[in-house]
Amino acid sequence: MSPHYSQSDSVIVILGGSNDSDGALSQMSLDRCQQAVSLHTAHPKLRLVTTGGWGEHFNQTATAHGELVKRELIRQGISEKLFLPVPHSAYTEADAIETSKVIRHESIRQILLVTSDFHMDRALYYFRRVFATMTITPYPAKSTLPSEELEARILHERNRLDAIQAREETSD
């Protein structure tokens, strides 16, 4: 049985990935969209936030990455009326910070967080820090990246989270 999430106090947040110079979403972003559509199907009244702006390594088009993801989700049948404004962020910590600015005037108490399975631990770290009084429920998107690329991303995420935690330990 699926948990119950209230339309008034819950939101689905889909973290940005990347796209090419023509605005076509990467496989990683499409995997995240697939998870978001599945979650929306189970909870069709929940509002959504798609994050992502511009950056040298993930989006050099004139359109914010979060807008490209939003368009894809609308193309897959999610109503445009359910989307909150797109936070223009360029990295994971900014995803959390900018999302907080978008939802601060809403009565949100629960975030259903969608990102890639290999990225979820670091995303949860930042979202739980920024949204300390909210419930953050992870909904990892299963990655369909080629195994060599996936292994590199897993190692990158592990190293980034280790570095963040080490920095915190030295600042305490």
Q: What is the mean pLDDT of residues 60-86?
A: 97
pLDDT in tens, 99-119: 999 999 899 999 999 999 999
pLDDT for 1: 55
SS3 content of the chain, % helix, strand, coil (to 5): 45, 15, 35
Cβ within 8 Å of residue 134, ≥6 positions away:
108, 109, 110, 111
pLDDT band, very low/low/confident/very high, at 168 (cuts 50, 70, 90): confident
Q: Whole-angstrom Cα distance, residue 170 to residue 115?
A: 29
Q: What is the mean pLDDT of residues 123-130?
A: 97
CA atoms within 13 A on the CB side of 143: 18
Q: What is the mean pLDDT of residues 134-151?
A: 96
pLDDT in tens, 38-53: 999 999 999 999 999 9
Q: How many residues make up the chain in this entry?
A: 172
pLDDT in tens, 5-17: 888 899 999 999 9
Domains of the chain: 10-143 (3.40.50.620)
Res 2 pLDDT > 80: no
Rounded percentage of the chain residues whose pLDDT exceeds 70: 98
